[in-house]
């Protein structure tokens, strides 16, 4: 088990996996909140053109992909902000144009090799070079600083854009910033899970985490946790079982989603039972001769310890029932 941490390329692979496990969900949560879960997928398609340009001009494909993705994401954001009816058509053009352009450019370039394109489509974490890792690390640091540091601001913009504008926030700048962060994340994750599965790491950990959470902050933290754990486990598993890393990571994330969904319902029931603020599960329209012991109910074991103000909670919840 220990020997898989020995080779340099494995250490780099694990580091890259951790970086992607943090960045992808921390950006993805805002896209999911805005019901743009598939935007990452669109950027991934556009990134392919960047990779193709990198091949054609024999420069670093990651840098080219960053450039093209940023342009593509800004165009998508402008289309979204204008909110016109044909927005989805415009996005479709961008997605498929990006995909087709990438393949065409790669086939035109001299170092054409379908295998090298394949490594961007599906990821090849074991071939991450020290230079790649430094670039991935730098980009990831920026993404984390923005998405975690500006959580309240970005949350407000994604939750209710009109209200955010009335608070005086620079809404347009923040929207563009988020689009650029999504683009950067796609290129960061490109080497680890591949362009075709980038979006999965932005969306699936968030979807898994929100099965168990009630607040946005907790969802973001839990999604990052799911992302890191599945990325690490995925890289380890793919080394042990000789499987491609990207699909392994994504499959593990989907397993986490299934597991969390399965335990969500019993957990929520337990939380309701321990929280006295919701009142008893059955009606508390007590008949005159019934005392207050009927109102607390037989199935509230941790009642008084769980909440700070059970009294005011009870009056308000009974008011809520009356409404």
Q: List contacts with other proteins (CB under 8 A).
A: 29, 32-35, 37, 150, 152-153, 155-156, 158-160, 162-169, 206, 210, 213-217, 219, 277, 309, 312-313, 316, 320, 322-323
Q: Least distance to other proteins from the beta carbon of 10, Å?
A: 34
Q: Least distance to other proteins from the beta carbon of 311, Å?
A: 10
- Residue whose token pair is 């380890």: 236
3-state secondary structure of 132: helix
Pick 124 or 219: Cβ nearer other proteins: 219
Pick 103 or 151: Cβ nearer other proteins: 151
Q: Least distance to other proteins from the beta carbon of 210, Å?
A: 5
Phi then psi dihedrals of residue 213, to 5 deg:
-110, 160
Q: Least distance to other proteins from the beta carbon of 125, Å?
A: 28
Pick 94 or 206: Cβ nearer other proteins: 206
Q: Least distance to other proteins from the beta carbon of 36, Å?
A: 9
Pick 237 or 307: Cβ nearer other proteins: 307
Contact status, residue 248 vs residue 286, Cβ threshold 8 Å: no
CA pair distance 71, 288, nearest whole angstrom: 70
CB atoms under 10 Å from CB of 23, counted, come to 29
Pick 86 or 137: Cβ nearer other proteins: 86
CA separation, residue 289 to residues 283, 285, 319 (Å): 15, 12, 21
Pick 59 or 167: Cβ nearer other proteins: 167
Q: 276-284 long-range contacts, Cβ below 8 Å, gap at least 24?
A: 276/300, 276/303, 276/304, 276/306, 276/307, 276/310, 276/313, 276/314, 277/307, 277/309, 277/310, 277/313, 277/314, 277/317, 278/313, 278/317, 279/313, 279/314, 279/317, 279/318, 279/321, 283/321, 284/318, 284/321
Q: Least distance to other proteins from the beta carbon of 24, Å?
A: 15
Q: Least distance to other proteins from the beta carbon of 285, Å?
A: 17
Pick 169 or 197: Cβ nearer other proteins: 169
Q: Least distance to other proteins from the beta carbon of 173, Å?
A: 10
Distance, first Cα to last Cα, the chain: 60
Pick 185 or 187: Cβ nearer other proteins: 185
CA pair distance 239, 273, nearest whole angstrom: 44
Pick 31 or 233: Cβ nearer other proteins: 31
Phi then psi dihedrals of residue 292, to 5 deg:
-70, -20
Q: Least distance to other proteins from the beta carbon of 323, Å?
A: 6
CA pair distance 153, 279, nearest whole angstrom: 35
CA separation, residue 59 to residues 54, 62, 72, 253 (Å): 5, 9, 20, 33
CA 147, 185, 21, 5 torsion: positive or negative? negative
């Amino acid at each position: 088990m220990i020997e898989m941490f020995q080779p340099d390329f494995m250490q780099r692979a694990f580091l890259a996996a951790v970086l992607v496990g943090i960045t992808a969900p921390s950006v993805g949560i805002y896209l999911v909140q805005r019901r743009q879960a598939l935007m990452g997928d669109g950027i991934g398609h556009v990134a392919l053109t960047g990779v193709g340009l990198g091949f054609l001009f024999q420069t670093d494909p990651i840098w080219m992909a960053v450039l093209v993705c940023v342009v593509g994401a800004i165009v998508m954001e402008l289309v979204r902000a204008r909110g016109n009816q044909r927005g989805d058509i415009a996005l479709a053009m961008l997605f498929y144009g990006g995909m087709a352009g990438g393949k065409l450019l790669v086939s035109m370039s001299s170092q054409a090799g379908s295998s090298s394109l394949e490594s961007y489509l599906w990821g090849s974490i074991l071939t991450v070079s020290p230079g790649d890792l430094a670039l991935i690390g730098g980009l990831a640091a920026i993404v984390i600083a923005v998405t975690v540091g500006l959580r309240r601001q970005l949350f407000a913009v994604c939750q209710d854009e009109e209200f955010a504008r009335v608070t005086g926030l620079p809404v347009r700048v923040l929207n563009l910033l988020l689009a650029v962060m999504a683009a950067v994340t796609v290129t960061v994750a490109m080497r680890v899970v591949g362009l075709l599965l980038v979006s999965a790491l932005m969306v699936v950990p968030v979807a898994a985490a929100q099965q168990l959470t009630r607040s946005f902050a907790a969802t973001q933290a839990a999604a990052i946790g799911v992302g890191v754990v599945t990325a690490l486990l995925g890289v380890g598993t793919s080394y042990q079982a000789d499987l491609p890393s990207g699909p392994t990571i994504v499959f593990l994330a989907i397993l986490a989603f299934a597991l969390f969904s399965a335990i969500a319902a019993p957990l929520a029931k337990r939380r309701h039972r321990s929280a006295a603020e919701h009142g008893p599960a059955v009606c508390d329209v007590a008949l005159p001769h019934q005392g207050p012991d009927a109102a607390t109910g037989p199935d509230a074991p941790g009642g008084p310890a769980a909440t700070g103000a059970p009294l005011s909670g009870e009056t308000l919840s009974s008011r809520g029932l009356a409404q």
